[in-house]
């Protein structure tokens, strides 16, 4: 740990630039695509970016479409949509639940 601060050092709470990110998208109108927005566990809207395409595929699946954007451009595109938070390389995500899977701790419902 350095005991001295320099002018070029970022503030401790200042987010560091993430560089180029792999951003998940979904089909939009016509040939357009739309950035997928997510929610944090507390319900806050967030944009999500991954530092590698492998991390994106590991978290969201190999068929997830993506575009490459800079962090600044991603923030600028998502801010008007109410997503002021950017999550980089989220480690956890829930798998989609299908109708045939029972909820944890509950017995499956059977038709009589």
Grade residue 97 by pLDDT with cuts at 50, 70 and 90. Answer: low
Is the model more confident about 43 or about 93?
43
pLDDT of residue 84: 92
Grade residue 93 by pLDDT with cuts at 50, 70 and 90. Answer: low
pLDDT of residue 56: 94
pLDDT of residue 110: 57
Residues of 6-27 as b/e, b for ≥16 C-beta within 10 angstroms?
A: eeeeeeeeeeeebeebbbbeee
Model pTM score:
0.67
Token reading at 97: 């639940």
Name the phi and psi angles at 61, rounded to 5: 100, 155
Work out the average pLDDT over 56-72. 93
pLDDT of residue 91: 77
pLDDT of residue 42: 87
Place of tokens 């923030």: 75
Rounded alpha-carbon distances, angstroms, from residue 13 to 16, 35, 72, 106: 9, 27, 17, 43
Place of tokens 């320099």: 6
Concatenated DSSP letters for 18-83? --EEEEEEEE-STT-EEE-EEE-TT--EEEEEBSSHHHHHHHH-TT--EEEEEHHHHHHHHGGGT-
pLDDT of residue 19: 77
């Amino acid at each position: 740990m350095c005991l001295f601060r320099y002018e070029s050092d970022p503030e401790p709470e200042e987010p560091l630039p993430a560089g180029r990110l792999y951003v998940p998208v979904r089909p939009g109108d016509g040939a357009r695509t739309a950035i997928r927005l997510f929610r944090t566990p507390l319900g806050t809207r967030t944009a999500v970016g991954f530092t590698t395409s492998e991390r994106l595929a590991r978290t969201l699946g190999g068929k997830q479409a993506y575009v490459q954007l800079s962090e600044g451009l991603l923030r600028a595109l998502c801010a008007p949509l109410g997503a002021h938070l950017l999550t980089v390389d989220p480690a956890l995500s829930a798998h989609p639940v299908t109708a045939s899977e029972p909820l944890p701790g509950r017995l499956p419902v059977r038709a009589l």
